[in-house]
Amino acid sequence: MKIVQSWDDGVVDDVRLTELLRCYQATATFNLNPGLHQPYRSFSWRYGNKEVWRLGRDELAAVYAGFEIANHSLTHPYLPDLSLADLTREVRDSRLILQDWFQQPVRGFCYPFGGFNAAVKEVIRTAGHVYARTVTKIDPVFPPADPLEFGANCWFADPEFWICYQRARVINGVFLFWGHSYELMNEIMWADLEAKIARISADPIAKWASLETLFTQ
């Protein structure tokens, strides 16, 4: 059974998240917007009563060392609303920048706001991506009918998380969960996530995998 997790937006909470994942030798995919990272940490928006800050360009390589990096567009717009020229810039230029920053292939994409259409998918395909993750909840997740419409079993804090997990486990399939680390609002949520990561890592038939490897191996 393969376990994959996908986290969006490149925020400061990813520092704690990546440290937690390394403790359990858990792999993950991080979806980044290179056009939104300033040289140093910068305030982005409020999530409830919490300030969300993006990581600085100077710390990205260290924070995400050892993890798969995927493209989340240049500046996180709703892609179906863009002209072809702007869409191409958001998708293609972002991929090229991420590959330069991290010196690794970037073959995955994650749709900002989950938005896509046929034109968006074609630009993503042409730019060299082999899969694109959506926020659609689906079971089973793999193999997808279309790699550019790759859904997930559940959100990381879904009340049915373990129900979805067990369904994938029964068929020895793929279990994919996703989220944003800024959604971890308190220590109870962090403890719950760590318990999930620990339990999965202790499962003898569970093997952590990156999203990209599902399509390239």
CATH number of the domain where residue 37 is located: 3.20.20.370
Q: Which two tokens stand for residue 183?
A: 């959604």
pLDDT in tens, 81-96: 999 999 999 999 999 9
Residue 92 has a CB neighbour count (10 Å cut-off) of 18
User: How do residues 84-136 score in pLDDT, each as one tens digit?
Assistant: 999 999 999 999 999 999 999 999 999 999 999 999 999 999 999 999 999 99
Domain that holds residue 166: 2-216
pLDDT for res 207: 97
pLDDT surpassing 90 at residue 217: no
Single-letter amino acid code for the residue at 198: A
Question: How many domains in the chain?
Answer: 1
Q: Label residue 7 by pLDDT band (50, 70, 90).
A: very high
Per-residue pLDDT at 216: 86
Cα–Cα dist 95/109, whole Å: 9
Question: What per-residue confidence (pLDDT) applies to 168?
Answer: 97
* 186 vs 13: CA distance, rounded Å: 12
- Which pLDDT tens digit goes with each residue over 171-181? 999 999 999 99
| pLDDT bucket at 33, cuts 50 / 70 / 90 | very high
If we measure between CA atoms, which residue out of 182, 178, 155, 179 comes closest to residue 44? 182
